[in-house]
Structure 1
């Protein structure tokens, strides 16, 4: 069900929905951050700090919950190993510069009009299926009791929302359960100031390696999911038109600033928008609340191993709910065959390959209909 866009006067209104929705995307970004930190040695506190700052900035800029999250293709390669922190920084600087320039030139809007909506829906559907698989296979199956318990909480809140119009606070409740489990295992973490940002530019070879290993896989994903799918979903959910050029520019600014200062390159994402909306966020105030929580987390979660005390079922349940939200939007496609083919290609081959295949398949489909 669509909602009207928030009035500017309602922007700073703190509601239960905005509080619950502020943490809606934590099930995606927090596991990625701590996995990257464990794999590469990057500062977890600095990643949380820079992400929190951009949460707040994005809330003010867009005034609706436009998500902030790590570059997923870069994160996936980093977690798998084989890249240095300098190469990660180089990928963010290259990606950031590219999308800043394209956004400022106004060409992203031109490009958006030439990509069929069925391809964008296919990306939403593919991302939903991939997140569903991750929720079950990477988190749920390894912590089945907690996973099922959290799914029951999701179902109860959904039932309450439909029967008696209760606010959906399931994300907040589930996250609180995870924090209680963490505190009962490790006690209260020791507070420490986040690692201070240090300007450090990669060398020439790191730029070359990053271009082939990280940037090329990331660009189609950013174009399809972070810009085109996010713009479409924002219009559907909030009745507010967010231009692809504006999204391109803020993605570029995020990636450039965080990479130069030692954080992880960032972007937007349709999955994150769906997550914030799914758990009740309706204005940019939710992003400001989420940013404050992340900044507080950067003080207490200086050690990535601390997060392993949070049951995996917590993250699995949050991802599961977001996946279903995205799949629902992906199924609104006008050309089911194109979108379905893309989704099934993406599961083994990745979203970038599915995006290219979707463009080709949509063009062939259009040609044979002439």
Structure 2
């Protein structure tokens, strides 16, 4: 299928729905990106510019409000300190190559059969648990401020606007940061190759890449493809999405960007907030570029509030994880990922899935 077939009849719009829909993606992206900027050597301006660039690219190419998100498994491992920044870069490059090759050879559907949906959900759960653990730790650094954020969140949920909870906490944190730093001077980042450090190949990087690929195949490729059909009646194959994810990751990481993917959650969030075309991506790209110019303000975001936001992201990811065909296997993979590491959890899950399939008489080949 040519990408031109996807966007046929898809005209970019810039109405109120596209503007509000843009927020549906940012509420899950910003907490993770800000945490990486605050806790790792990652250059926040470079990462935000990369997000802005590829929001426009895929909004125009597909004509749909496709999400552009950090690869959450790798991001969570880096935030939790389980991966160094160099290992994050290396794992992202490895994942990018695999996704590009898999997309070009139409291999995604075959790979998914050997991983199994409960294993993918288990990796999601492990990532959610790691994010929650880190978020709680940050919140305990200033319990009073964290309690205020929790109260605000509960208040917004109580009035029936749960989607706005992250926006409210982001707004409060931004206001506090502005008071602390004053009005910052806009700065334009200087671009170069690996501005925050080059790749560091290691066993941990390989394990992280494998765990991320398990999530990406299930959530960012297959699930997003189905959601494009369900919400927009658009024929976007999982292999096309794999190709675009590999491309943007390999183009962005060497210049300071993050390993990036699409995601069903971000696409659903944009749709829920009113987005119907790639116009929402263009709007969001402008927001990211402005944020990159004022990255000093973003980095001054209170860590305790950031912790609460990470917990909110973890809850959202965890809710998706438990919608599984085998809760026992998903929980097993999630707990192993929390106690040991996500790479080990992934291997344990794949082996358990294979054994369960054979015992059940179905066999992986029939899945």
TM interval, shorter chain, is 0.7 to 0.9
Equivalences for residues 15-54 of structure 1 within 5 A: 15=17, 17-25=20-28, 26-36=30-40, 40=41, 42-54=42-54
Distance 2:80 2:314 in 1: 21
Distance 2:108 2:11 in 1: 31
Contact 2:121 2:324 (C-alpha < 8 Å) held by counterparts: yes
Residue ranges of structure 2 left out of the alignment (5+ in a row): 1-6, 362-367
Distance 1:170 1:77 in 2: 25
Distance 1:237 1:355 in 2: 25
Deviation at 1:82, TM superposition (A): 9.0
Alignment CA distance shift 1:338-1:265 (3 Å): closer
Deviation at 1:288, TM superposition (A): 2.9
Distance 1:105 1:217 in 2: 23
Who is 1:228 aligned against? Answer: 218
- Give the match's secondary structure for 1:8: coil
Does residue 172 of structure 1 match 2:171? no
Deviation at 1:276, TM superposition (A): 5.4
Deviation at 1:286, TM superposition (A): 3.5
Deviations 1:200-239 (A, max 9, x none): 6999xx76x425442x123222211123122354356552
Deviation at 1:12, TM superposition (A): 4.0
TM-score by length of 2: 0.78
Distance 2:110 2:94 in 1: 22
Alignment CA distance shift 1:309-1:94 (3 Å): closer
Deviation at 1:241, TM superposition (A): 6.3
Distance 1:140 1:233 in 2: 35
Alignment CA distance shift 1:129-1:263 (3 Å): closer
Does residue 96 of structure 1 match 2:86? no
Contact 1:118 1:334 (C-alpha < 8 Å) held by counterparts: yes
Deviation at 1:194, TM superposition (A): 2.2
Equivalences for residues 189-338 of structure 1 within 5 A: 189-195=184-190, 197-199=191-193, 209-210=200-201, 212-214=203-205, 216-234=206-224, 239=230, 242-269=236-263, 272=266, 284-301=278-295, 303=296, 306-338=297-329
Residue ranges of structure 1 left out of the alignment (5+ in a row): 1-5, 162-167
Distance 1:280 1:312 in 2: 31
Deviation at 1:350, TM superposition (A): 2.9
After TM superposition, the structure 1 stretch with the greater mean CA deviation from structure 2, 55-64 or 327-336, is 55-64
Contact 2:99 2:243 (C-alpha < 8 Å) held by counterparts: yes
Contact 2:104 2:243 (C-alpha < 8 Å) held by counterparts: yes
- Give the match's secondary structure for 2:53: helix
Contact 2:192 2:255 (C-alpha < 8 Å) held by counterparts: yes
Deviations 1:91-123 (A, max 9, x none): 544443332122211112221233322222323
After TM superposition, the structure 1 stretch with the greater mean CA deviation from structure 2, 27-36 or 262-271, is 262-271
Distance 1:10 1:308 in 2: 33
Deviations 1:157-198 (A, max 9, x none): 5x257xxxxxx4333333222211111111111112222x22
Alignment CA distance shift 1:19-1:276 (3 Å): closer
Alignment CA distance shift 1:21-1:344 (3 Å): same
